[in-house]
Structure 1
Amino acid sequence: MNERYFLKIAGELNIQPRQVAATAKLLAEGGTVPFISRYRKEATGSLDEVAITSVRDRLLALVDLDQRRESILKSLAERHLLTDELKSALAGAETLSVLEDIYQPYRPKRRTRATIAKEAGLEPLADLLFNHQATADPLKEARAFVSAEKGVENEEKALAGARDILAERVSDDARARAKLREFFWKNATVRSKVITGKEEEGAKFKDYFDWTEPVATIPSHRLLAIRRGETEGVLIVRINPPENDALAIIEPLFVTGKTPAAEQVCLAVEDSYQRLLGSAIEVELRLESKKKADTEAIRVFAENLRELLLASPLGRKNVLAIDPGFRTGCKTVCLDRQGKLLHHDVIYATASSMSEVRDAAMAVLSMVKQFQIEAIAIGNGTASRETEAFVRKLGLPSAIPIVMVNESGASIYSASDVAREEFPTHDVTVRGAVSIGRRLMDPLAELVKLDPKSIGVGQYQHDVDQTALKKGLDDVVTSCVNGVGVELNTASKQLLSYVSGLGPTLAANIVAHRNENGPFKSRAELKEVPRLGPKAFEQAAGFLRVRDSAHPLDASAVHPESYGLVESMARDLFCSVSDLLRDAGLRQKIKLEKYVTETVGLPTLSDILAELAKPGRDPRQKFEVFSFQEGVEKIEDLKPGLKLPGIVTNVTAFGAFVDIGVHQDGLIHVSQLADHFVKNPAEVVKVGQRVTVTVTDVDIPRKRIALSMKARPELGAQTGGKTSPGPVRPTLSRPPAKPSASKPVDWFTDALNKAQQRKS
């Protein structure tokens, strides 16, 4: 890699060139972003994952640039067009657009108006007009090039051909392209118009039927919405600046006066802009503005996904999970503390028949007793509030929380190959209910089984570059999985596949080895897994936990390469490693400076000491139960001015969607997020955050709810901004049932008696 690139990247990221060089070396050696960030701080100068990812992406972009440069040089050399001057210019190009501008005049072209004019022998006339603008007489000079045989019947045709040649030269000129590109970015506007006759069909794009906005400032979500309208054949879209202003930028590069010859050159410049250069730059601008909008949309999606993946886990509990329904009943499953399916049934908790409801109550009470249920998970889709109300009336102990869980994507999982492999003898309804229960226990472990795009927290996710989207989301999942750590003996192969250094093949091999030989007794046993070599072990071991290992550090984030260091610390204090883990007083006696070496510095030693204090700690927040407003269960219950608790389900560039418990998320427009100006909603709210909102407007027919977080919001008027279709509700949690004044000695018998009394 060119050292010049290290300097360039360092300047862009405001870090030291040596940090870039060290990171590049580690990446080239097969290091992963999580591993380098966690275990190679001395080499990188403690760069975090964001910085390392940025270095990686810029390095890859520059590699692509170098590959394109080599391709161009090879093409020019093969056609004997490569000169020292051209070679030097190409070598100095630091961006793809500059590289392509230099190459533009030499690019193989299809037969154009300029090539036809050249074939007619008009290139000398074009040269004469351009080089002698002050003195040349166009008509007089053109007379010598008239030739019926060559299709040049008169002087005007000769001049037209010469202008075609000049127009192509203008279009190929690197200076003109660079100046015009800069001018477009600063001054072009996005203009959209509805196609006549498409008004009714494209009503959802009504806001953009006659829209104009500078491309430099248009928000990503608006540009993507307009482009979607164009793709669906509703809108006509142009992105360009005022033509006269654009011509004023490039004409001085070619026109040197106001003589007749200069007028011919001026006409050629105008033709070039209208026919060639303007449209070429517009295409570039479309691509680059789309790329910019994609980047922002992917960033928003990634931030939302991170919050969702790192949602608080309930932990290892026996769970009864319900996938609610009306006509087809509620699919109910019981899971043990490891998420293993113990039992499944269908109950009719929302039936109109009282006998069916009583039977459902008896069934739930029986399952809670038999399987020692410690929590109840209810999917937040159809019939969720009705099912929740049913469960709350059963009189379960307050120690059993009743939790609403986001079921978005559960149906996709239930029909997937992953679900079929895990539950080959059960139908999709059982698989979906299992997924709901497991999401409550450990959202991260369950959500990694889904394509992140099906989780539903993206912004125009189907419109953005799918390759870039997958890469961005995979980076987030990888970061979350390794940040939390993975239980080696219980993790699914889907979860293991995201562990640093593994991937799908090694993850499958680990699970196969575990199934064949039983649980891993130590991290060291990983080396026995087929195809898991020293490099994979190095990259993965620190992120894998073995809880019952003979070596206490196997349950921590301390890397095996540092075990010897910790053992030295223990020996120096005349204690065992286990003593260090248990006794804070012993840890306080450790003098980190004593253990600094050429490869291990204070950053790593500090991490080790922190890990000894809380080995294998889970960075996710502690699980807390959430309460919706009692008596507010449907959109008809809402009215302007009502203050409600809610949970943020999606954050976009234009605001945030909030679940307030009425089966339809409300929108807090960015202008309503705070009493001060908010540019980026993500600076104020996160997915999963609990908030208090005020209802400002309700449109029941359109199922639109406007909310505000302002102290004194204006009521009765819709807030500005566009909403996106079908907002999705993420994980929600409801409060446990309130304990009765006199708690029964046997809650199960008491509840059973109540159910039987209702039945009789």
Structure 2
Amino acid sequence: MDQTAQRIARQIATEITARPDQVSAAVDLLDGGATVPFVARYRKEATGGLDDTQLRTLSDRLAYLRELEARRATILSSIKEQGKLTDDLAKAVAGAETKSALEDIYLPYKPKRRTKAMIARENGLEPLLRGIMADRSADPTKLAEGYVSENVADTKAALTGARDILAEELTENADLLGRLRIFMRDEALVTARVIPGKEEEGAKFSDYFDHSEAWHKIPDHRALALLRAAKEEVVTLDIAPDPEGGRDKAVQIVAGAVGVPGDAPGDRWLREAAAWTWRVKLSLSMYVDLLAELRSRAHESAIQVFARNLKDLLLAAPAGARATLGLDPGIRTGVKAAVVDATGKLLETATLYPFPPKRDLRGAEAQIIAMIQRHGVELVAIGNGTASRETERLVADTLKLLPQGVTAPTKVVVSEAGASVYSASDLAAKEFPGLDVSLRGAVSIARRLQDPLAELVKIEPQSIGVGQYQHDVDQRRLTKALEAVVEDAVNAVGVDLNTASAPLLSHVAGLGPKLAQAVVDHRDASGAFGSRKALLKVAGLGPKAFEQAAGFLRIRDGEEPLDASSVHPEAYGVARRIVGACGRDIRQIMGQPEALKGLRAEDFVDASFGLPTVRDILAELEKPGRDPRPSFRTAQFADGVEDIKDLKPGMRLEGTVTNVAAFGAFVDVGVHQDGLVHISQLADRFVKDPHEVVKAGDVVSVTVTEVDVPRKRIGLSMRKDGGASAKAAQQERGPSPDKGKPRGGGGGQGRGKPAQPRKDEGGGALGAALRDAMNRK
């Protein structure tokens, strides 16, 4: 391994809490074409047990650090070609740990267009600058008289040229830039001001019309809201030191780079040149740098929130293989209905018109009853969009009319986010070529109740609706992160090779869309796969793809019992040695933990398979093909609570978590508008990250704390006292000093002053927390 690779391995090892040799082994596997799920599950001996999270971070950082090293080599080569590479400069380049630090060092040597400083040097003005710096007691104007020439009109022009040279040197001073960035990160304020005339158009951003807070303290979700407001040209955004003293400190740092301790004429001129350089050049470059950092930081946070929510949604409890009636609610256009069997196969569709203008309630009830009886429906999945509660009430009333002896199915309200996207997709058209687009949505709703993972992989993750400002962030980075989440989720659960769709198979390690379609085509042409080995007969699927994919594919009741487990075919020999030690048939052992009692994993370790693999095999033999997802459970919405107007403070309700953001969790309590449980109301303890307490899909009990009908905002609490302690604290403090003014920290705080966090912010209130929440829409 070369020195560069060793350096990268050491740095990543520190970041993911691992050893350099573990990182090097993982890098070799990934470079060799292995996938993260495969390495995490089947190469534990090689990597020392690095998990998928560590491996994802490793993969991301590996790409960044390799780009950094490539850039480092390019910069060294460029400086060397210019004949300016010294030992100290080479050390500085080698020691740069980030791309920005590297570019700072390269600035003076970077080829550039003709600048004012270049012109000044050509006009012989550099000696003037050196003279001013060398003799601070001399009057710069007097010194400048000796530099007036045909190209330099007067002393003012001479001093301007000298200042241009100094300014360029300061803006290319890597040490100064580094110190300024540190200062700005600590001292800068992010300030937003409404653009005159945009008050009405940008009303949803009203809390940011006069807003200011410290750059290093601004929450990521609020940064995203500010960035969106600026993008929509509602506010102007500035990042600068506090005008009361902060700007003077910045100028002092710049002046310190040329050393101006005294008050001689030269010192005064240099100080003025430093102030001009800060005002005209460096303040702008610092603004650009810190804005980019703020955006990057906020984007990364939003992507992480989206990824975690998506993972929770994909790994939500499946209702299982049960005949399901899917209902896509609608008023004027009717309720679209679709029945699928236990395998998800479409059996029947219909359009019901129980609501105005047709009001065919009896006809709708009759159709629902007929479908339930005809197909043995066990579940009714109701989309949570417009007319969801009306449709749910229709179903509840209809189930009461079922003939005696007919078991009533369980009704469940399901998120329909992304269903319309799927309905209009090429995939849906291929799957249901003769079916109306609107009816395809009902099929999707039914199937996503049966198996959320299998159905949601057909929809672009960005359309599933569990993100925070997902349309504002770096789409390439977002797509990459979400694809990784889907891949990890699919492979964690495993896929039935003989029933999985091409979209689901495409996320299996080593396959991808092309091979996944080839697998389905082969299955359609030749029938069900009898074994994992039969995969090698698929056109284009070679040994490498088989190695990566086989362990994540399941074959139920096949020729080889182990094909139904996550034991990889390469380790079947070890599994059979374990079975042989039990002295019983493998089918009698799989799923029978007591049959494996007394066996020591250490006794089955050999040269090819170490202790981690043997332990995994024993665990899999105990519970073959186990599903890591939780058991199925649904929220029971309160009767008579169907609209936000039905909510009253103090109500105790059950609901489903639909989304988790940095500031809290959104909960569907059945009134067409999600309520917000602010982070301070999630538990009877301090919560740093909402994901510590809840995840998308959780069924939770909440108390209504506040209802704002006109603004469609609902405040909820999961605390045992229902948020009473927060209210009591607020009453004790009295009304907020900025009551009636823009909420969000800036209003009432004074221009240029950092926002002071409201002590009651989020304590069940619909203030800043709900503002941030709703601005994400």
TM-score computed with the length of structure 2 as normaliser: 0.90
1:416 Cα deviation (Å)?
Answer: 0.7
Match of 2:284 among 266, 279, 286: 279
Aligned residue identity for 2:388: S
Q: 1:572 to 1:669 in 2, by over 3 A?
A: closer
For the aligned residues, what is the CA RMSD? 1.9
Match of residue 361 from structure 1 = 365
Partner of 1:210: 210
Q: Which residue of 2 aligns with 1:384?
A: 388
How far off its partner does 1:652 sit?
Answer: 0.9
Please say if 1:432 is aligned against 2:441: yes
Q: State the alpha-carbon separation in 2 of the partners of residues 451 and 605 from structure 1.
A: 37
Find the counterpart in structure 1 of residue 374 from structure 2: 370
Q: 1:675 aligns with which of 641, 663, 684?
A: 684
Residue in 2 that maps onto 1:636: 645
Distance (Å, rounded) in 1 between the aligned partners of 2:44 and 2:765: 53
Ranges of 4+ aligned residues in structure 1 off by more than 6 Å: none
Contact 1:456 1:727 in 2 (8 A): no
Structure 1 residues 641, 585: CA separation in 2 closer, same or farther (over 3 Å shift)?
Answer: closer
Secondary structure at the aligned position of 1:393 is classed as helix
Instruction: Report what 1:295 is aligned to.
Output: 300
1:332 aligns with 2:337: yes
Aligned mates of 2:322, 2:144 — CA distance in 1: 91
Give the Cα separation in 2 of the matches to 1:598 and 1:399. Answer: 57
Calculate percent identity across the aligned residue pairs: 51
Distance 1:599 1:648, change over 3 A: same
1:59-97 residue CA offsets vs partner (Å, 9 max, x unmatched): 111011012223323433454444454334322322111
Q: What is the match of residue 105 of structure 2?
A: 102
Aligned residue number for residue 200 of structure 1? 200
Specify the alignment match of 1:143 in structure 2: 145
Residue number in structure 2 paired with 1:709: 718
Distance in 1 between residues matched to 2:597 and 2:612, nearest whole Å: 17
**Does the Cα contact within 8 Å between 1:9 and 1:58 map onto a contact in 2?**
yes
Q: Give the letter aligned to residue 274 of structure 2.
A: V
Mark the CA change 1:637 to 1:33 in structure 2 (over 3 Å): closer, same or farther. same
Mark the runs of 5 or more structure 1 residues left unpaired by the alignment.
729-760
Match of 1:6 in 2: 9
State which of 453, 457, 468 in structure 2 corresponds to 1:448: 457
1:318 aligns with 2:323: yes
Instruction: Report Cα offsets for 1:17-62 as digits up to 9, x if no partner.
Output: 1111111111111111111111111111111111111111111110
What SS does the corresponding residue of 2:147 show, helix, strand or coil? coil
Letter in 2 for 1:145: Y
1:568 Cα offset (Å): 1.8
Shift of 1:128: 2.6
Distance 2:181 2:113 in 1: 24
* Cα distance in 1 between the residues matched to 2:776 and 2:658: 8
Decide which of 526, 533, 546 is 1:537's aligned counterpart.
Answer: 546
Equivalent residue of 1:674, what SS? Answer: coil
Q: In the alignment, which residue of structure 2 is the partner of 1:423?
A: 432
3-state DSSP of counterpart to 1:402: strand
Alignment-derived partner of residue 170 in structure 1? 170
Q: Is the 8 A contact 2:239 2:290 kept in 1?
A: yes
Three-state SS of the structure 1 residue aligned to 2:105 is helix
- Asked whether the 8 Å contact 2:381–2:413 carries over to 1, the reply is yes
The correspondence of residues 117-136 of structure 1 with structure 2, limited to 5 A, is 117-130=120-133, 132-134=134-136, 136=138
Is contact 1:179-1:250 (8 Å) kept?
no
Instruction: Give the drift of 1:627.
Output: 0.8
Summarize the alignment of residues 32-51 of structure 1 with structure 2, pairs less than 5 Å apart. 32-51=35-54
- Structure 1 residues 720 and 641: CA distance shift in structure 2, 3 A: farther
Which range is displaced more, 317-326 or 453-462?
A: 317-326
Distance (whole Å) between structure 1 residues aligned to residue 377 and residue 705 of structure 2: 41
1:485 to 2:494 alignment: yes
Counterpart of 1:606 in structure 2 is: 615
Distance 1:46 1:427, change over 3 A: same
The letter of the residue matching 1:237 is L
Q: Which residue of structure 2 lines up, in the alignment, with residue 742 of structure 1?
A: none
Which segment is superposed worse, 663-672 or 335-344?
663-672
- Kept in 2, the 8 Å contact 1:667–1:723? The answer is no
| Residue 254 (structure 1) aligns with | 258
1:221 aligns with 2:221: yes
8 Å CA contact 2:260–2:271 kept in 1: the answer is: no
**Could you tell me how far 1:113 is from its partner in structure 2?**
2.2
CA displacement at 1:430 relative to structure 2: 1.4
Aligned partner of 1:105: which letter? P
Match of 1:687 in 2: 696
Range 16-25 or range 670-679, more displaced: 670-679
Q: Residue 730 of structure 2 corresponds to which residue in structure 1?
A: none
> What is the aligned counterpart of 1:718 among 762, 766, 773?
766
Residues matched between the structures, number: 724
Structure 1 residue 599 displacement after superposition: 3.7
Counterpart amino acid of 2:370? S
Structure 1 residue 352: deviation in Å? 6.5
Q: Which runs of 5+ in 2 are unaligned?
A: 728-763
SS, match of residue 714 in structure 2? strand
- SS of residue matched to 1:594: helix
Quick one: distance in 1 between partners of 2:38 and 2:438?
A: 39
Q: How much does 1:229 deviate?
A: 0.9
Letter aligned with residue 183 of structure 2: F
Distance 1:672 1:39 in 2: 42
Is 1:233 aligned to residue 237 of structure 2? Answer: no
1:398 is displaced (CA, Å) by: 5.0
SS at match of 2:283: helix
Counterpart AA for 1:142: A
* Cα distance change, pair 133–490 in 1 and its aligned pair in 2 (3 A): farther
Q: Is the 8 A contact 2:225 2:772 kept in 1?
A: no
**Structure 2 counterparts to residues 489-500 of structure 1, below 5 A:** 489-500=498-509
Report the AA paired with residue 193 of structure 2. K
> What secondary structure does 1:243 align onto?
helix
Q: Is the 8 A contact 2:503 2:513 kept in 1?
A: yes
Deviation at 1:117, TM superposition (A): 1.4
Q: Distance in 1 between matches of 2:504 and 2:394?
A: 35
Mean Cα displacement is larger for which, 157-166 or 249-258?
249-258
Aligned to 2:657: 648
- Return the letter of the residue paired with 2:48: G
Specify whether residues 717 and 580 from structure 1 end up closer, same or farther in structure 2 by C-alpha distance, changes over 3 A only: closer
Q: Distance in 2 between matches of 1:301 and 1:393?
A: 37
Of the three residues 707, 729, 734, the one matched with 1:698 is 707
Partner AA of 1:657 in structure 2 = F
3-state SS of paired residue (1:376) = strand
In 1, the alpha carbon distance for the partners of 2:765 and 2:289 equals: 40
Further displaced range: 463-472 or 574-583: 574-583
Q: In the TM superposition, what is the alpha-carbon distance from 1:345 to its structure 2 partner? A: 1.2
Q: Does 1:59 align with 2:62?
A: yes
Task: Give the match for residue 271 of structure 2.
Answer: 266
Change (3 A) 1:18 1:337: same
| Residues 1:199 and 1:629: Cα distance change in structure 2 (over 3 Å) | same
